[in-house]
Amino acid sequence: MKRVCHMTSAHDPEDVRIFGKECVSLARAGYETYLVESGESYEKDGVHIVGVGEIPTSRRKRMTEGAKRVYSAAKAIDADLYHFHDPELLPYGLKLKHAGKAVIFDSHECYKEQLRYKPYLSPWVASVIAKAYGVYEQYALRRLDAVIFPCTMGGKNPFAGRCRRAAIISNAAILDEFYDRYDAGCSKKPRQVCYVGGLTEERGITSAVKAAPKADAVLALAGTFSSVDYESQLRAMPEFSHVDVRGRLNRVEVSELLNESCVGLCALLDQGQYLKIDTFGIKVYEYLSEGLPVILSHSAYNDRMVEKYGFGICATPDDPDDIARAIKYILDHPDEAKQMGANGRKAIKEEFNWSVEEKKLLSLYENILGE
């Protein structure tokens, strides 16, 4: 039995992609699977979770002290293959590779693009850091066994030719989770639109708040605000009276929110990678799994998928009037909305589900460990 170890210093305990999809799939396939992360140590679904305690919330301390603690705990496991999920772990991935281990970098985002739009950095500093990160990332990728990215960008794999293996493994839905929790008879809250995820400016939350009263809708927000200042800014807006803040929800609570809502919203702004990638955010797969019509930002990929599957409407993300128009259309046409929901569930069942992506992950592991 091969021993494999996943590492994260930045993601929450039991992150859906890391734990719920990748680690559980590997354990089920017969690998002795470990996950080093913040929190306590325990076992779940065949995965040995090794907690390193509370990781500092300070960005600098997380990337230094936190990353080092994760590396030390992971190294002690002495796995055959290491699979890490955060760019701050790149130096430790190289250390493990130098020690003779197989190493995979799971790049959840195109970080050199995203770094250019960090609100806590001035544009000049962000540009310099993004360029420096890109150079270092390329140096590391040449030495690792594989890099994973969740999708193509403009039809191309952004990591092709930059690493020995560059796999595309999407963040598609787990069928026995949200898809199977769909309740066709659940009572909907009238004119409720929901958003699940990080509550930030670039994710279109300000536009969504402004759009809610224009569509005579209630916007249910599930997630945590990017900062206290941003939350205060939103709460000071007169439109915030149409917002229902649910806070951070567990998976069951998220499912309950989706079942009671009429529309799922994900209108991300055109910043960094958001409208360049050929995939949906995990929240969209969850909306579709629960039979919700969705509102997405206009992009080449989103427009194409909405036209192909008919599961929602695209809108201009920085235009509250256009978002309101899309919300109002769906809420005012319940029969069409119901068909959009059915179309979304059909797309999840046939194409956008983890069982398809799981095969790619297992094939990559077999290829690397079979050498």
The pLDDT of residue 272 is above 80? no
- Asked if residues 55 and 69 have their Cβ atoms less than 8 Å apart, the reply is yes
Query: What gap in Å lies between CA 262 and CA 198, rounded to an integer?
Result: 20
Question: With contact defined as beta carbons under 8 Å apart, do 311 and 317 qualify?
Answer: no
Among 16-25, 84-93, 112-121, 272-281, where is mean pLDDT lowest?
112-121
Q: Which residue has the higher pLDDT, 110 or 104?
A: 104
Could you tell me the pLDDT band of residue 133, with boundaries at 50, 70 and 90? very high
Query: Region 75-88: what's the mean pLDDT?
Result: 98
Is 119's pLDDT higher than 80?
no
Its sign, for the CA torsion 318, 319, 325, 331, is positive
Q: Which residues contact 266 (CB under 8 A, 6 or more apart)?
A: 195, 197, 204, 280, 281, 283, 284, 287, 294, 295, 296, 297
150, 168 in Cβ contact below 8 A?
A: yes
Span 3-172+353-369 CATH architecture: 3-Layer(aba) Sandwich (3.40)
Alpha carbon distance 365, 370 (integer Å):
8
Residue 332 in tokens? 């005012």
Task: Enumerate residues 6+ apart whose C-beta is below 8 A from 152.
Answer: 158, 168, 277, 278
Q: What CA–CA distance (Å, rounded) separates 293 from 273?
A: 24
Is residue 176 pLDDT above 90, yes or no? Answer: no
What pLDDT does 117 receive?
A: 72
Confidence band of 276 (pLDDT split at 50, 70, 90)? confident
Count of beta carbons in the 10 Å neighbourhood of residue 260: 16
Q: How far apart are CA 41 and CA 51, in angstroms?
A: 4
Q: Is the pLDDT confidence value at 116 over 90?
A: no
Higher pLDDT, 126 or 83: 83
Q: Note the pLDDT tens digit of each residue in 210-251.
A: 999 999 999 999 999 988 999 999 999 999 999 999 999 998
Q: Do the domains spanning 3-172+353-369 and 179-350 agree at the CATH topology level?
A: yes
Residue-wise pLDDT for 280-337, tens only, equals 988 999 999 999 999 999 999 999 999 999 999 999 999 999 999 999 999 999 999 9
β pairing state of 47-51 and 42-44: antiparallel
Decide which of 111 and 357 is more confident.
357
Task: Give the span between the Cα atoms of 6 and 121, in whole angstroms.
Answer: 30
Tell me the domain boundaries of the chain: 3-172+353-369, 179-350
Residue 371 has pLDDT above 80, yes or no: no
CATH number at 179-350 = 3.40.50.2000
pTM exceeds 0.95, yes or no: no
Q: Which residue has the higher pLDDT, 338 or 177?
A: 338
